[in-house]
Structure 1
Amino acid sequence: MTDARPDRKPSRIQQRNRKRILEAALDVFSQQGYRGATLDQIATRSGLSKPNILYYFSGKEEIHVTLLNQLMETWLDPMRDIDPMGDPCEELLRYVHRKLEMSRKYPRESRLFANEILQGAPRIRPHLERELKPLVDSTSAQIERWIDEGRLAAVDPMHLIFSIWATTQHYADFEAQVQLLMRDRPHRDGAADYLDMLYRRLLTPH
């Protein structure tokens, strides 16, 4: 099919429609997963016709990949901001708190990413290999240096990173369960303090 989308800079209406499509698709993909989502669902949610959506995107996969690529830029920023010259424990705790805050602000994005990973990362694997792996490798090496300097307790850097992801993104990925189990109080009440205590105890040299 010939791509009819213009090469010139999109108008404000076109930019607004594209944003509407992506916002609607984020809702649909985060609830239905990639396989369960359809262009018809995205069209209904966005209030635009299916042909209108296909004017801006070639299909469901392009919309999904666009959302994932946008997400990855946001998702990696907290790790990129870890300061090698800062206090190791405080830098890692700041990372924990930023990841927890992101789970509060971006629950749909977190579930979008989780669903993609559960399917084997077929659409985002190149991004993971090109962006995520080098960043995690360099962060792990920095944690290892801090441990060697005696500034952090001896922990496995890679499993530390995995545990931070698990304990923060849980509040987004399993939001319905957390809300049910904590329905008598705000479902993130105490999470920041608990994780601060947990990781401070884990990371402080003895």
Structure 2
Amino acid sequence: MTIISAEVPASGRARRASGLRSEATILQAAERVFAERGFKGASMSEIAAAAHMPKPNLHYYFGTKEALYRAVLTDILETWLGEADAFVPDGDPAQALGSYVRAKMRWSRERPHASRVFANEVLHGALFIGPYLSDDLRRRVEQKGKVIEGWIRGGRMARVDPRALFFMLWAMTQTWADFAVQVHAVLGVADLSEAAYDAITEEVVAFALRGCGLDADGRPPAT
């Protein structure tokens, strides 16, 4: 059997790469504007200005403000959920949990607007992502929860409710973005230095592991 591969011309690949870069730029700008203004308060004109692009470019790539907002939310959720891929039956619980917490903390530092967009959406009733939360997110939490239950049955970590664990991990990591004003006020700083944020991240990791009966070396709970 002969398999014919249709190669994309160099000019086509260049246009595709340019299009992907434009989409990424728009999503980044929209994420910031939606975080600051909310869905209703944001305008395509403001997002276009933040992206340093003509407004028609936004409509070309995303059509409407609602479509762009949904794309921003989808990008956020897929980024976050992808970090739980390390939760596999033969994986190491301490490594998986530590990696997940560090990744969520990193996203809260590098993309705080993403966390605020999500928080605003949920606080306003999850009008756009309600079905996603009750379908895709619920299914993924159940899948990863079964992995955690397997680790518990194998004596590899302390007994916890997997769903409650995920809620606590989300709260511990996203608060640094959602409530940054409160964090900075209590700590008496205008912003957290990279070193300070790294130290806090390790505190959160250690706290999460202790709650699961683990330590940084991955030792399971004493029997």
> Structures share a fold, TM > 0.5?
yes
Question: TM (normalized to structure 2)?
Answer: 0.78
Paired residues of 2:115 and 2:174 also in contact (CA < 8 A): yes
Give the match for residue 105 of structure 2: 100
Give the match for residue 111 of structure 1: 116
Give the alignment of 1:26-175 within 5 angstroms: 26-175=31-180
Inter-CA distance 178–152: structure 2 relative to 1 (3 Å threshold)? same
Aligned residue for 1:28, secondary structure, equals: helix
Paired residues of 1:171 and 1:188 also in contact (CA < 8 A): no
Q: Deviations over 1:57-77 (max 9, x none)?
A: 322101101111122221111
Moved more, 166-175 or 14-23: 14-23
Aligned residue for 2:157, secondary structure, equals: coil
CA distance in 2, matches of 1:35, 1:62: 13
Give the match for residue 208 of structure 2: 199
Amino acid at match of 2:208: Y
Which runs of no fewer than 5 residues in structure 1 stay unpaired? 1-7
Amino acid at match of 1:194: E
Question: Percent identity of the aligned residues?
Answer: 37
CA distance in 1, matches of 2:147, 2:18: 46
Give the CA RMSD over aligned residues: 2.4
Paired residues of 1:152 and 1:203 also in contact (CA < 8 A): yes
Question: TM (normalized to structure 1)?
Answer: 0.83
Inter-CA distance 194–13: structure 2 relative to 1 (3 Å threshold)? closer
Q: Deviations over 1:54-108 (max 9, x none)?
A: 3333221011011111222211111122232122233222222221122122211
Amino acid at match of 2:137: L
Aligned residue for 1:155, secondary structure, equals: coil
Which runs of no fewer than 5 residues in structure 2 stay unpaired? 1-11, 214-220
